[in-house]
Amino acid sequence: MHSDFIELSAALRNEYLLKTEALFAAKQQQWLAAFAKHFHSVCAEIAKLQDGSSLQALSRIEYNMLYNNFVNRRYVAEVWAYGDKLYLDKNQRMVGEYGISFLFGYFGELWDKLLSARKRYVGKVTSQEVTSFMIQALPCFYSYLTSIARRAIADSLDKRTFAGVAKNETFKVCVGDYMAAAMPT
């Protein structure tokens, strides 16, 4: 990628992260409440599946950032439930999705701006390189969801719906990359 475009991309990424930070500061209470409501609905769905014996006690709930979703501009976190064998669990299943387009508006704007700016670098910057840059920037934007989840889940631990989920001795709720060493909340 052309060095001038690299500098432009980094500057724009920082600008749009600052915009996201300002939006986060303004909306965080609203987003915390929305996430808590979603988390309770996920817990209720899990408890229902466990009552029907199609899901055993859980060791992990994950809010996964699947890169292919974001490359296709489908801004969702998939919610997966795992038993004691984690990724080898034959009964692992997706138990929901959490739409996070409200958090990725500036991410999409940044992407569009970079695709438009690359036209000034014909033959030097490809759309695949812009996509690669955006994939590298994705965790910076997704970290806001991690922050929201951490606070909302901590406030939910004593709620009846969460208590109704059968959990193993070791239990985590993670928000991050799919099948990665995600930062536990």
Measure the CA–CA gap between 158 and 155, rounded to whole angstroms: 7
Helix, strand, coil % (nearest 5) of the chain? 60, 20, 25
- Percentage of the chain modeled with pLDDT above 90: 61
| pLDDT tens track for 47-74 | 999 998 878 889 889 999 888 999 999 9
| First and final C-alpha spacing in the chain | 36
Measure the CA–CA gap between 51 and 57, rounded to whole angstroms: 11
Please report the pLDDT score of residue 183 as a whole number: 44
| pLDDT tens track for 115-136 | 999 989 888 999 999 999 999 9
The single-letter code of the amino acid at 98 is: Y
Please report the pLDDT score of residue 130 as a whole number: 95
- Percentage of the chain modeled with pLDDT above 70: 94
Q: What Rg value do the Cα atoms of the chain yield, rounded?
A: 19
Q: pTM for this structure?
A: 0.84
